[in-house]
Amino acid sequence: MRCSAYKSDGTPCRGEAQEGLTTCWSHTPENLAVLREAGRRGGRAGGLGRPSVFVAEIGAVKKTLRGIASAVLSKDPAKRVNRADALAAVQALNGVLRALDIERRVHELDEAELLLEEMAERAKRERAS
């Protein structure tokens, strides 16, 4: 089921409603409080609970890259890896990093949009009262 909320531009939210609810995660009132809190913290840590996932994933890629570097540079023939293989792996990991960066930027835009919606809602309520 689609989320029943509307976005700030008046178009219906395309999010998937949560089980047993009529709204998606972002449009559920208690989660708006979470988003508000995230906005207060500059949307850096925590946010939708996802930036920490990016940090973890980037951390994993960095660890793998370090592993490759030490294997390529290793004096121990048993640990050493083929340079071409290492290069291919590093290129693939660069692709992963780029994808993560794009995802993170999309996430930040989503978050900014939600915060704007929330602020617009609040302004509307204040005008009404």
Q: Which residues bind Zn ion (CB under 5 A)?
A: 3, 5, 13, 15, 24, 27
Nearer to Zn ion, 27 or 104 (CB): 27
Written as one string, the DSSP assignment of the chain is: -B---B-TTSPBP-SBPPTTSSS-STTSHHHHHHHHHHHHTTT-SSTTS-HHHHHHHHHHHHHHHHHHHHHHH-S-TTT---HHHHHHHHHHHHHHHHHHHHHHHHHHHHHHHHHHHHHHHHHHHHHH-
CB of 86 to Zn ion, least distance (A): 44
CB of 26 to Zn ion, least distance (A): 5
Nearer to Zn ion by C-beta: 17 or 89? 17
Q: Least distance from C-beta 123 to Zn ion, angstroms?
A: 19
CA 92 remoteness from chain centre = 20
- Nearest residue (CB) to Zn ion, 13 versus 32: 13
| Least distance between Zn ion and beta carbon 47 (Å) | 16
Question: With respect to Zn ion, which residue has the nearer C-beta, 80 or 107?
Answer: 107
In angstroms, how far is CA 12 from the centroid of its own chain? 22
